[in-house]
Amino acid sequence: MYPRLKQLLLSIRERLWVKPLVVSLLSIGAALLSSALDATVMGWHVPEVSRESIEDLLKILAASMMGVATFAVASMVAAYSATGNTATPRAFPLVVADDVSQNALSTFVGAFIFSVVALIALMNGYYGQAGRFSLFALTLAVLAFVVFTFTRWVDSIARLGRLGSVVAKVEQATAAALERYRRDPARGGVPPNPGWTEGEPVFGDMVGYVQDIDTEALQQHAEHKRLRIAVWAIPGTMVLPGRAVAMVSSDDGGAIDTAPVAAAFTMGPVRKYDHDPRFGLVALGEIAGRALSPAVNDPGTAIGIITTLTRLLSSRPVDAEEREHKTPHDRVSVVPVSARDMFDDAFTAIARDGAGLVEIGVLLQQALAALGSDSDPAIRAAARAHADLALARAELALTLPQDLAAVRQAATAGAPSK
């Protein structure tokens, strides 16, 4: 249940109407509860505030907030459109989940609802002397918060949807997913066991992608039924008919109920960044590939992304204190993320689309050479294989001998010594 609840909460962040709705309900409650001071002894000792002054202030607030909220929605839609046009549609969920923009829109809508409800209540004599004073103070506080939010939001909306901001958001999400993977490569389970290849296959209930796996639920079911579960489809894996996501075997050879195992897999029509480090690498590779297209012709962006990818894929040793202290789920094995697959996601588009540019070829060889000396053998092998592929593509695309010589020199300088 926890992974599904977590996925639900994450999906709520991508819904623009959730925060404004919550803030609107709070605004209605605040406007109506302002009269609570009338029933207290303190209500006789507060200054007198005229109804007309509060009414004029609320009218100004209501009229201005509707326009500001409309402007905010238009600006956010323009930023979302720019994300798909200049970067990649795969980055759209990260831009939509921007907390600053969602909080700003919620503040503007909430202030509008507050002013309308308070104005109706005020004109119908809902507030006494203390209630009017409380409403006046609350209105000033709302106005001050709106000004602060608008000022902060203007700085954010100027960057929202810009290519640099999108790349930074994708890098941040990818880095977080990679860090989670490095801390717990088996997702709480154990490495694959060659003896667990036989048994009852488990299939997904839709064509889509694995988004999360509840290994705790798998372990509990396996302990209760004396099973061994080999997870084959990790987050980011495409689920197809006839393609098993797991294999279940029984200790005693009895009948196996695969329904609880299938229920532990959260699947959806799209991939998610949280537990799928490869998805972020795909998005960064797409941004670089688009930047290298003839229509855009922006090799500088691709150069920046090569640096980003090198930073992300460089393995950072994780000591014992940083690893998640969990008792391994000894009845659940999970396949690891392939380093070669991650390099395919990251560098294939750049090497293909930038093969005819000497600056891309040289930097790509330098980056892959740096990764080729990594402490992780799998990363070293993947980096050297991609360096050879990138050089082969450059040899076919570059026509100037001096350019090709520069790429070959970079490849030779980064090659491991014999």
CB distance 113 to 24 below 8 Å:
yes
The pLDDT value given to residue 418: 43
**Helices and strands in the chain, H and E counts:** 15, 7
Alpha helices, H only, 292-400: 299-313, 339-353, 358-371, 377-397
The pLDDT value given to residue 79: 80
Report CA dihedral (384, 388, 391, 392) to the nearest 10 degrees: -160
Residue 345 CA to residue 364 CA, distance in Å, equals: 14
User: What is the pTM (predicted TM-score) of this model?
Assistant: 0.81
CATH number 3.40.50.2300 given to 184-268: no
Domain boundaries, the chain: 2-161, 175-181+274-319+336-414, 184-268
Residue 284 CA to residue 311 CA, distance in Å, equals: 13
Strand partners, 213: 265
Question: Scanning the structure block, which residue is given the tokens 């996601």?
Answer: 345
List average pLDDT for each run of 10 residues in the chain, which is 418 residues long: 58 69 84 74 67 88 88 83 81 82 88 90 84 87 91 81 88 93 87 82 91 90 90 93 90 83 90 92 94 91 95 70 63 92 95 94 95 90 94 94 94 69
Cα angle vertex 386, ends 383, 387, to 5°?
85
- Helix, strand, coil % in the chain, rounded to nearest 5: 65, 10, 30
Structure tokens at 389: 């592929």
Strands 227-231 and 208-213 turn out to be: unpaired
The pLDDT value given to residue 308: 95
The pLDDT value given to residue 10: 59
Task: Give the strand order in the sheet containing 208-213.
Answer: 238-239, 208-213, 265-268
CB distance 131 to 35 below 8 Å:
yes
The pLDDT value given to residue 14: 62
Residue 84 CA to residue 57 CA, distance in Å, equals: 41
